[in-house]
Structure 1
């Protein structure tokens, strides 16, 4: 049974990214008993969050806290400004990144939740040059992230 819980900023793990970006790992589907996972992400101007991919088991929900994001959803490019909510159902190809106009920060929720903190930690290591992209090859099914296109989607 799910019980109420509170996650305070001082207790949140931050995964640093190049250029001043970061992931804040808020909920790994553990406290919510799989109901959802939650992360906050800050991307520097023009930085990609991810290449085109889909999830087979989860809906991914984004809320733009500041700045402007660019989303590729099933081949169409969309601008999402502060205050925009985006919902991506399972099996929908999508990608996202900060616009070139400035940094962007957003909240990302996945429901149902899949424990993914290890995925984001590894992405941080890759982004910082501490690991090679090939280290992700065996992790896609485990974390329900299935790539559908090249990294240069914009």
Structure 2
């Protein structure tokens, strides 16, 4: 999969800065008041990175165990405490904490059971994954079945490696 794209250019021909205002970002609602805020789908950075924010209600899982074969994923916990499963070890990370997951590391995450939590995530190099997050939202809301993700793992570089009930 080739993720490198042509970067947008400014009026002088240099790579342009990217600004995404929060109010302009698409929001994908999740059950219990959770949400994905879709900030950058790698197009505006020429494939350098993708970025989103995830807010989860207390105790909610964000994803089941998976790995990325092509990308590194960075998580910065904004509020609450997130629980990260990292190669089989459950690690709580409070607000202000950073987690960097290299390619091939099996990981999962969710909000700790005592309070809602949210994080900012960056995937680099970027892969256009907003369609993936939209579909995850439909699945979480009961509007689509998990089987609709079959065959899309290589497209989104998300390779599941474990049961949905990982905690």
Provide Cα deviations, 1:58-100, integer angstroms capped at 9, x if missing partner: 0000000000000000011101000000000000000000000
Alignment partner of 2:39: what SS? strand
**Of 47, 59, 65, which aligns to 1:52?**
65
- 1:138 positional shift: 1.5
**Of 21, 24, 28, which aligns to 1:11?**
24
Matched, 1:101 2:114: yes
Give the distance between the partners of 1:59 and 1:69, measured in 2 at CA: 19
Structure 2 gap ranges (5+): 1-6, 8-14
Matched, 1:36 2:49: yes
- 1:31 positional shift: 0.2
Q: Which residue of 2 aligns with 1:127?
A: 140
Q: Which residue of 2 aligns with 1:21?
A: 34
Give the distance between the partners of 1:66 and 1:15, measured in 2 at CA: 19
Give the distance between the partners of 1:103 and 1:122, measured in 2 at CA: 22
Q: Which residue of 1 aligns with 2:12?
A: none
Output aligned runs, 1:72-111, within 5 Å.
Answer: 72-111=85-124
Structure 1 stretches of at least 4 aligned residues deviating more than 3 Å after TM superposition: none
Q: CA RMSD in A?
A: 0.6
Alignment partner of 1:102: what SS? coil
Give the distance between the partners of 1:82 and 1:127, measured in 2 at CA: 25
Alignment partner of 2:46: what SS? coil
Q: Which residue of 2 aligns with 1:67?
A: 80
| Structure ID, larger Rg | 2
